[in-house]
């Protein structure tokens, strides 16, 4: 991974120096990696993702008359080719859609589910929790995939094109290949050991037994055929057909290299799990902030409630007038408090009584904000509050681990519709198990469950259960003005750091008035109710800023890279601005249909 550029907290107008571009052509064999531009401005719609080929796939669909939903599915499918360690049809995600005609926001929970035979002891053996690494690279970690159902649900409700049509660009990229860049190679290298446990994975991602070479063309004809089958048969091929049977067989009998010595525990998936799966269309979370309306995903993800609660807490501070020290201090403390409440209250609402309305109430946030002092730091773990009894506190518990690799895309179209969509297979490389002959990796999403209660004295809402969705931190967000028109849409990968990344991008953009690309590029901090706040190098290595924060009582650790956000912003006159990372994950790709300078 490339590290963020060392820079001050306030980043100066990167956007002014970047020329906007339209769609990039698919790479030819032996060509350089597709060029990436982190910001683009123009008409006809916009797409931002981490990958230039995937962004171009979305632009292609927009140019052919598709809407934002069509383009989002096309982009996501292409990311399944070019970012296969972060996404794909073997995973799940959360889809947030703004409908310009009705000026309303809708969401889809496409989170993976535990097998119907799972119970709270899914990740325990002999009364003890499994080692995390043992659980990850196993069939036991594989949940019922939700991504195909999410695509079909979104297209069926709000799209204008058939699944087979929007899968076309991704099928072509898989068949003809894309050019390997440093990020793809480094992510492969990081997973090389466990990829070699599974012969089908090694054959696909370690061609000729070696790491892919930067500048070489990587082809995935098996995935091209899988997309072609999905396009012809629909997602029933996954949930009621042969493709689904292959997924179940692979998860339940992981095809391990006998010479590797790896014990890949068998999964518990069945064809009944796939047949029972449904992507849930549900109401978004809604939070008022500085006169705007902030919409995101409701539980099973904790993203909407946790970002929303933190924003409500920050309403008590005028961040537009705050210096860097005060801004970061309040941002860190609001994050700390909201994560304490997340851990206590948020789980799958089909199984848990999640007080979503209470967590998002301004009255509750105002009570929690009283914990914050300008000249002292809260001690983590902070105890959770109770939305039904705002003055009371519960028992403190640490935040559980969540895998950090995911991918996010943001799309707008010429009619004003917007999509903010985060999809994932959990860890970088997911479970490391490739479905033989199918060209994609299976997720390890079930490791997002608590293996055992975070605090044995208190009910943990995130323990496994039959058909239960593990808690997520995914936070695709759309902000509307008073007239219910889009202002900005953002999202990010990064496990539990997704929440703090989205919160920071929003406050940098809305409060500190940075251009969107600069708000995305700004060096990040992440506090998740832990003893230390993680800082990217530009903040960690700033002795003056860090020293002032440490004088208040803050403690820090270094994190080389936090998140990889993308966003779109509505501009006057029908224009859109697309923005992506300038450096993180090798930089992102922002494109528009008809660019202007």
Active site residues: 406
Residues 6+ apart with CB under 8 A from 22: 40, 42, 59, 591, 592, 593, 594, 595
Angle at 472 between CA 467 and CA 478, to 5 degrees: 120
Instruction: Give, in order, the Cα–Cα distances in Å from 228 to each of 63, 77, 224, 234, 235.
Output: 22, 12, 6, 10, 11
Q: 517 by DSSP, 3-state: which?
A: helix
The CA R_g of the chain, rounded to the nearest whole Å, is 22
Query: Does residue 381 have a cis bond before it (omega within 30 degrees)?
Result: yes
Exposure letters 345-368 (e unless 16+ CB within 10 A, then b): bbbbbebbebbbebbbbbebbebb
Pairwise CA distance, residues 46 & 590, whole Å: 7
Q: Do 566 and 491 contact (CB within 8 A), yes or no? A: yes
Strand partners, 128: 125
In 10 A of CB 398, how many CB atoms? 16
The DSSP line for 327-385 is: HHHHHHHHHHHHHHHHHHH-S-TTTS---HHHHT-HHHHHHHHTT-BTTB-PPSSPPPB
Q: Do 522 and 499 contact (CB within 8 A), yes or no? A: no
Q: Do 520 and 504 contact (CB within 8 A), yes or no? A: no
Residue at token pair 């060509």: 31
Pairwise CA distance, residues 1 & 562, whole Å: 11
Pairwise CA distance, residues 108 & 150, whole Å: 7
């Amino acid at each position: 991974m490339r590290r963020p550029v060392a820079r001050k907290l306030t980043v100066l107008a990167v956007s002014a120096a970047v020329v906007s571009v339209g769609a990039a052509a698919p790479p030819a064999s032996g060509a350089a990696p597709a060029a990436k531009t982190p910001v683009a401005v123009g008409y006809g719609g916009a797409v931002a993702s981490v990958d230039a080929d995937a962004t171009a796939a979305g632009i292609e669909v927009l140019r052919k008359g598709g809407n934002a939903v069509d383009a989002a599915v096309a982009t996501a499918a292409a990311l399944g080719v070019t970012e296969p360690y972060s996404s794909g049809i073997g995973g799940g995600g959360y889809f947030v859609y703004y409908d310009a005609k009705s000026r309303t926001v809708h969401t889809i929970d496409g989170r993976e589910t535990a097998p119907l035979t799972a119970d709270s002891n899914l990740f325990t053996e002999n009364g003890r929790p499994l080692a995390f690494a043992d659980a990850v690279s196993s069939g036991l970690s594989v949940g019922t995939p939700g991504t195909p159902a999410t695509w079909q649900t979104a297209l069926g409700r709000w799209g204008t094109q058939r699944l087979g049509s929007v899968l076309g660009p991704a099928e072509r990229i898989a068949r003809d290949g894309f050019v390997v860049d440093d990020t793809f190679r480094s992510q492969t290298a990081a997973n090389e050991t466990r990829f070699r446990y599974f012969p089908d994975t090694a054959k696909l991602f370690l061609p000729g037994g070696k790491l892919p070479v930067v500048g070489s063309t990587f082809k995935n004809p098996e995935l091209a055929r899988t997309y072609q089958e999905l396009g012809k048969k629909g997602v029933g091929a996954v949930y009621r057909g042969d493709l689904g049977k292959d997924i179940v067989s692979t998860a339940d009998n992981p095809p391990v290299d006998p010479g590797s010595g790896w014990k890949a525990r068998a999964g518990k998936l069945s064809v009944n799990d796939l047949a029972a799966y449904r992507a849930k269309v549900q109401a978004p979370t809604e939070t008022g902030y500085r006169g705007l309306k902030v919409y995101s995903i409701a539980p099973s993800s904790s993203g909407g409630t946790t970002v929303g609660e933190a924003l409500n807490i920050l309403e008590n501070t005028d961040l537009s007038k705050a210096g860097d020290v005060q801004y970061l201090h309040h941002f860190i403390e609001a994050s700390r408090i909201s994560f304490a409440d997340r851990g206590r209250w948020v789980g799958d609402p089909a199984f848990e009584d999640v007080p979503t309305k209470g967590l998002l109430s301004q009255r509750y946030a105002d009570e929690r904000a009283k914990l914050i002092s300008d000249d002292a730091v809260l001690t983590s773990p902070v105890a959770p509050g109770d939305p039904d009894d705002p003055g009371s506190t519960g028992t403190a518990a640490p935040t559980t681990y969540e895998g950090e690799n995911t991918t996010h895309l943001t799309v707008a179209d010429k009619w004003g519709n917007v999509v903010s969509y985060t999809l994932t297979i959990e860890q970088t490389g997911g479970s490391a198990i490739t479905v033989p002959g199918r060209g994609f990796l299976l997720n390890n999403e079930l490791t997002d469950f608590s293996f055992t209660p975070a605090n044995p004295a208190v009910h943990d809402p995130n323990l496994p259960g039959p058909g239960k969705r593990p808690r997520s931190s995914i936070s695709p967000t759309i902000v509307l003005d008073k007239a219910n028109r889009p202002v900005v849409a953002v999202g990010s990968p990064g496990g539990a750091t997704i929440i703090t990344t989205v919160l920071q991008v929003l406050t940098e953009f809305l409060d500190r008035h940075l251009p969107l690309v600069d708000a995305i590029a700004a060096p990040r901090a992440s506090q998740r109710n832990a003893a230390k706040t993680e800082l990217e190098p530009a903040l960690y290595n700033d002795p003056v800023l860090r020293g002032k924060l440490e004088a208040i009582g803050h403690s820090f650790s270094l994190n080389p890279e936090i998140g990889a956000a993308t966003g779109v912003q509505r501009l006057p006159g029908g224009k859109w601005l697309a923005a992506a990372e300038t450096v993180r994950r090798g930089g992102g790709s922002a494109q528009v249909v008809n660019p202007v300078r």
